[in-house]
Amino acid sequence: MSTQTKLLTMKGISKSFGKAVIALDDVQFELESGEIHALLGENGAGKSTLIKVLTGVEERDKGEVELDGKKIHPKSTNEAQQVGISTVYQEVNLCPNLSVAENIYIGRAPKTKMGGIDWKTMTEDAAKLLEKFDLKLDVSKSLDNYSVAVQQMVAIARASDIKAKVLILDEPTSSLSKVEVEKLFTIMKRLRSEGMGIIFVTHFLDQVYEVTDRITVLRNGRYVGTYKTCDLPRVELVSKMIGKDYAVLNQSLKEGQAEKEGTRTGDELISMKNVSHQGSISQMDLSISKGEVLGLSGLLGSGRSETARVLFGIDQVNEGEIYINGESVNLKHPIDAIRKDLAFCPENRKTEGIIGDLSIRDNMVLALQAKKGLFKKISKKEAQAIADEYIEKLEIKTPNADQLIKNLSGGNQQKVILARWLATNPELLMLDEPTRGIDIGTKAEIQKIVIDLAAQGMAVLFISSELDEELRCCRRIVVLKDMERVGEVSGDNISEGAVMQIMAGGETK
Amino acid sequence: MKDLKKLRIKNISLTMTVLLFLIMFIFGSVRYDHFLSLSTFLNLFNDNAYLMIAGIGITFVLITGGIDISISSTIAFTGVFMAYCLQHGMPSFVVIPLALIIGIIVGAVQGSLIHYFKLQPFIVTLAGQFLMRGLCVVISEASIPITDPFFKFMALGRIQIRLGDSKAFNGKIYYYVLIFIAVLCTALYVLKKTPFGRAVYAVGGSEQSAELMGLNVARTKIGAYIISSFCAALAGVVFSFYTLAGYGLQNMGMELDAISSAVIGGTLLTGGVGSVFGTAVGAMIQGIIQTIVTYENLNTWWTKVTIAGLLCFFIVVQRIIAVRAEAMKGKAVAAA
Amino acid sequence: MKTKLAKLSGYQAFWPVVIFLTIILFNTIMTGGEFLSITIVDGHFYGRIIDIFRNGGKLMILAAGMTMVLATGGTDISVGSVMAISGAIACSIIKGVLLPGLNGNVAAAIILAIIAGIICGLWNGLLVSQIKIQPIVATMILLVAGRGIAQLITNGKIVTINSDAYYFINGGYILGLPFPLYIVLFLVGMLLIFVNRTAFGLFLESIGCNPLASKFAGIKVNLYLLAIYTISGAFAAVAGLIESAGIKGADCNNAGLNIELDAILAVAIGGTNLMGGRFSIFASVIGALIVQSITTTVLALGVPAAYIRVLKALLIIIICLAQSNRFKLSFKKAKVAEKKEAVVL
């Protein structure tokens, strides 16, 4: 740590989109060589914009960036790479159709004397490089043969191999298992010891405390401060990120929960018996009662989203039975599930949820209209009434229902999708990562809505990768692993530790 | 075992294509007298060189995940344009480069509209198709004969090949087939060995990723459309050698033939996968269908209908393979 | 007054109607009022305006079907070939070459031709919705093969027929107005009622914007895709009947040739985004009238027919550019935008 020198300085960075949206307002950031620096903030804080400015994806309006004492102004990711800034994104940004080796070396492949690409050297180099990451792959196979986690590691290998001085890791861990995260941290630490400066963006606070040296917090596009990780208690960090007192926030939720504790869960609404879908879930048993919030926990690919997809008729049951109110049902298409009073907010809001170019009103009535059928058109008046009702109820921030949904913020979009399903008056509401990419305030609001709904007798299936969120909302959590149900915690036994233990240990059912 | 697996997933289409070609050739040989001969085989090149060249060009665009349905018009336009220029006394060594430059310009304009303004490729190239067909008729409604000595030389000049005394072992290839061979070799090299070629595949695999990996997506995409139009212009030149005329209504609907060649040769219309060698074989399959239809003395429209049917068949097969691969991947993830 | 105008201009069909009226005005001035004159012969109306409506009938029908296809982000370039098939079937049956058992029954010929159109549309729809072939390729298969099929039906010949009942489809008059106009009113009217009285419009827009999310919201996307390609095919068959009744026979080489561009142009002029999403069938029908009147006008000005196609192709690109956000952006601040184009995904 003694050899640290200033590597990267960003000063007075401002960036606005149009007149209304100020994404960054006079933000500063400093990175030393040989440090892992966490960049934290809620969604909309400006983290991603700052990184986009740094990597040349977005043009900055104002401000200066210096790397190694030289002013830089990259205009594209390519230019950023050339000056020594490389990035790994949350979603794997590699080409699935190319070989592993090529994904690592494309754009800078070794050449033969004839001037063509030297495939042999490239393959050998790639294999050697990946060995450093404890990965033994057939690098000549195309990337889509491998799991998302492996792909993510390949992306990191690529980024670290480019003669980078600054490595940006933008939420790289969301698709990795615990073991893989450990592996990643080992690599990060090694790169740090080699003098690289690493910017680490994550929303897992545990990881921040495990691996980073310093923390810079942004809020609402403004710079809040830079702190030594070891000097900043967790609670304080959170309150800096959200700008309000965490304890107060937590308190209101606790009250909500207490309310819920009072209500008794009713009869069984829906159950899965021995349900399998090839490649996604296997021999799943699950039962949800009226008025219950059931949590579904597990790592990515454990079958948590997949279970909801099967329940909603997106993926078909290969084996086993689904019962609704004791009746065996055959769900072939989401509409079948909707007609049985099921509802599902999918994980990928942008691709599976919103209809971007339609108004808030149209987005809200869509599922209800589908449920009613083609010929029973909801009149504009009725639609307006529904829209007004939910804009008020869910406190959606919009001037009117005519706004296109794509112009709303993530949190408000999520509320519109929630309204879409509440309008169908469902008995079971399935929420897959309902608070992902949403600021903490809205997050708490949505959690409260969920608890309230259950209190009114609705059954809720709650899927989240954030354990504390599940603990807050659910009284019973079913844990999945490798497409199978591995355990359940409920009542007083519910705790982060208990869930994690099942997730990690694979306690048998 | 490993190689076998690779063969199965990646090259299944190409293997099928080559097999299909052999089966059809054998079918023809058994059914018709005089079919089995070197000259039947070589004539596939002689008669389809222009289609192969155009098909190789469009393969680039298809690999990037785009589409170009303007190529038949480009071929017709360059044909009419050259015939018109030659008729008005311009020398062939000026006219041919000029035609090729027109091809490059057409591709650059179309590619830029598609990339920079995010217009849909089919709309842009559909408009391009109509634009150039219209321009053909503006230049001349009638067919213009070409009498230029160089064109005549290329039209008639050929290499005799004798592999034996029997007539079946004799054949000829015209000089312009060499242009096709040059194009094929260049395309193979470019796609396999140059950064541009690899970027074409990368863009087809994921444009966003390619951008973030620092590849020049604009250059790659526009480059692919330029290659497509350039090859079409070159195909137009070869076609003029072949017919010694320029006619505005020539080759209507040939883009389907070119796309079929590529798809039959293993190119995925979803982008990211494809080979120009496959395209060449795909074009030869169409040539053989044409030959069989001629031998059968059928209405030539049968060729079109058969090719369309074959295209459908291959697309369906590709879909099935893709769905299977997806399922297998699911299993692999489960096993991991 | 001002607010009323503002409200009117909010409708998608506003500008198309304005353009159409302008073209008519232009023609009226150019011809010294002759353009607008309508004469009555034998109780039938004749005149240039009437001609535009009559000759534009096919295009209005095609444009109505094409609008929905484009609204879902697809396209149907096979309409011309479907017209050829429908004409070939109808004329062959009436002549007695095909299905001689029907004795050249005109009604049966029309019904079978329309059924053929429906089958063509279903085929396109299946390829697009079930096998997930890009619409342009799926319909191109029929574009090329369809004309071949039509040729095979007529054995490669031009089939001329002699049937006053069949001629009526194009040349007939009811209450002094040409019959094709009634076909347009009927088909487009039915479609408009269907789209407006049901949730069909909302579903199509939703599918055009985001098919996956639409499926997740409970819309049977594949079913609707199948339906609109089928409607497009059926409409094309009707247009084919009008065309073949007009030339009193089936000409498989030229029937409906290149008409797909006109149909797409009509929809584009109508203001429907060719990328999918918001659409207006009425605006497209006006767009079809504009295309038809442009053709008439340009021909009347003595410009050779060949230039019209060039003009239309350019027009499509210009309209697309005008719809493109990126173009507007680069227009406003050319320099800044240019840099962005290269990096923004």
Look at residue A257 in the predicted model and tell me its pLDDT.
53
Domain count of chain C?
A: 1
Angle C127-C131-C132 from CA coordinates, rounded to 5°: 90
Amino acid at A229: T
Look at residue B218 in the predicted model and tell me its pLDDT.
93
Six-digit token string for A311: 């329940």
SS3 for C253? coil
**Per the domain annotation, does C215 fall within a domain?**
yes
- Mutation target for B interface from A98, A153, A284: give the one with most B CBs within 10 A: A98
Six-digit token string for C230: 């089928």
Look at residue C41 in the predicted model and tell me its pLDDT.
80
From residue A482, alpha-carbon distances to A145, A152, A280, A315, A478 in Å are 18, 19, 9, 17, 13
Look at residue A508 in the predicted model and tell me its pLDDT.
41
User: Going by C-beta distance under 8 Å and a sequence separation of 6 or more, which residues neighbour residue C259?
Assistant: C58, C59, C62, C79, C80, C83, C239
pLDDT tens for each residue of A212-222:
999 999 887 88
- Classify residue A195 by burial, with Cβ atoms within 10 Å: 0-12, 13-18, 19+: middle
- Mutation target for B interface from C130, C140, C339: give the one with most B CBs within 10 A: C140
Closest chain C CA to residue B251:
C144
Q: Do A352 and C212 touch (CB under 8 A)?
A: yes
B9 CB within 8 Å of a chain C CB: no
Q: Which chains touch B (3 or more CB pairs under 8 A)?
A: A, C
**Per the domain annotation, does C336 fall within a domain?**
no
Q: For residues A353-370, give the mean pLDDT.
A: 92
Q: For residues A137-143, give the mean pLDDT.
A: 87
Which of residues 272 through 311 in chain A touch B, CB cutoff 8 A?
278-280, 282, 301
Closest chain A CA to residue B7:
A141
Domain count of chain B?
A: 1
pLDDT band at residue A31, thresholds of 50, 70 and 90? very high
Question: Could you give the CA distance from residue B291 to residue B296 in angstroms, rounded to a whole number?
Answer: 9
- Higher confidence at residue A106 or residue B190? B190
Question: Could you give the CA distance from residue C163 to residue C168 in angstroms, rounded to a whole number?
Answer: 9
pLDDT band at residue B66, thresholds of 50, 70 and 90? very high
pLDDT band at residue B68, thresholds of 50, 70 and 90? very high
DSSP output for B243-289: HSEE-TTTTTTHHHHHHHHHHHTT--TTSS---HHHHHHHHHHHHHH
Q: For residues A20-29, give the mean pLDDT.
A: 81
- Higher confidence at residue B255 or residue B12? B255
Q: What are phi and psi of A15, to 5 degrees?
A: -155, 130
pLDDT tens for each residue of A448-457:
888 888 888 8
Nearest to B212 among A93, A102, A301 (CB): A93
Look at residue C338 in the predicted model and tell me its pLDDT.
41
- Which of A38-42, A195-199, A292-296, A500-504 is predicted least confidently? A500-504
pLDDT at B1 over 50: no
Helix (H) or strand (E) holding A293: strand A293-297
pLDDT tens for each residue of A257-301:
554 444 455 788 899 999 988 878 888 899 999 888 999 887 766
Which of residues 103 through 142 in chain C touch B, CB cutoff 8 A?
127, 131-134, 136-137, 140-142
From residue A107, alpha-carbon distances to A170, B198, B211 in Å are 21, 9, 11
Which range marks the domain in which residue C116 is found? Answer: 64-256
B215 CB neighbours in chain A (<8 A) are 78, 106-107
**Per the domain annotation, does B335 fall within a domain?**
no
A157 CB within 8 Å of a chain B CB: no
Question: Could you give the CA distance from residue C26 to residue C17 in angstroms, rounded to a whole number?
Answer: 14
- Mutation target for B interface from C123, C130, C133, C329: give the one with most B CBs within 10 A: C133
pLDDT band at residue B329, thresholds of 50, 70 and 90? low
Look at residue A368 in the predicted model and tell me its pLDDT.
94
Q: Do C218 and A370 touch (CB under 8 A)?
A: yes
pLDDT tens for each residue of A70-98:
888 888 888 888 888 888 887 778 888 89
Which range marks the domain in which residue B130 is found? Answer: 2-329
pLDDT tens for each residue of C34-43:
777 788 887 7
Look at residue C339 in the predicted model and tell me its pLDDT.
40
Distance from the Cα of residue A78 to its chain's centroid: 26
pTM of the model: 0.84
A505 CB within 8 Å of a chain B CB: no
Round the average pLDDT of chain B to a whole number and report it: 88
C328 CB within 8 Å of a chain A CB: no
Q: Is the Cβ–Cβ distance between A445 and A414 less than 8 Å? A: no
C220 CB neighbours in chain A (<8 A) are 333, 335
SS3 for A16? strand
Question: Could you give the CA distance from residue A148 to residue B330 in angstroms, rounded to a whole number?
Answer: 11
Look at residue B283 in the predicted model and tell me its pLDDT.
94
**Per the domain annotation, does C92 fall within a domain?**
yes
Q: Do B209 and A301 touch (CB under 8 A)?
A: no
pLDDT band at residue A180, thresholds of 50, 70 and 90? confident
The position carrying tokens 């480059």 is: B223
**Per the domain annotation, does C112 fall within a domain?**
yes
Question: Could you give the CA distance from residue C289 to residue C188 in angstroms, rounded to a whole number?
Answer: 14
Looking at chain B, the whole-number percentage of residues with pLDDT higher than 70 is 93
Question: Could you give the CA distance from residue C241 to residue C94 in angstroms, rounded to a whole number?
Answer: 12
**Per the domain annotation, does B336 fall within a domain?**
no
Burial pattern B39-68, b for ≥16 Cβ within 10 A else e, equals bbebbbbbebbbbbbbbbbbbbbbbbbbbb
Q: Do A362 and C213 touch (CB under 8 A)?
A: no
Q: Counting one residue from B and one from C, how many pairs have CB atoms under 8 Å apart? A: 131
Name residues of chain C where pLDDT drops below 50: 333-345
Six-digit token string for C151: 């040729």
Give C123-128 contacts, CB < 8 A, sequence gap 24+. C123/C233, C124/C76, C124/C78, C124/C229, C124/C232, C124/C233, C125/C225, C125/C226, C125/C227, C125/C228, C125/C229, C125/C230, C125/C233, C126/C226, C127/B312, C127/B315, C128/C74, C128/C225, C128/C229
Look at residue B124 in the predicted model and tell me its pLDDT.
92
- What's the first-to-final CA gap in chain C, in angstroms? 43
The position carrying tokens 């396999």 is: B192
Alpha carbon of C306: minimum distance to chain A alpha carbons (Å): 39
Amino acid at C311: L
pLDDT tens for each residue of A119-137:
999 999 999 988 887 788 8
Look at residue B49 in the predicted model and tell me its pLDDT.
94
Q: Is the Cβ–Cβ distance between A426 and A342 less than 8 Å? A: yes
B211 CB neighbours in chain A (<8 A) are 77
Looking up residue B174, the CATH number of its domain turns out to be 1.10.3470
Closest chain B CA to residue A120:
B193
Q: For residues A467-483, give the mean pLDDT.
A: 84
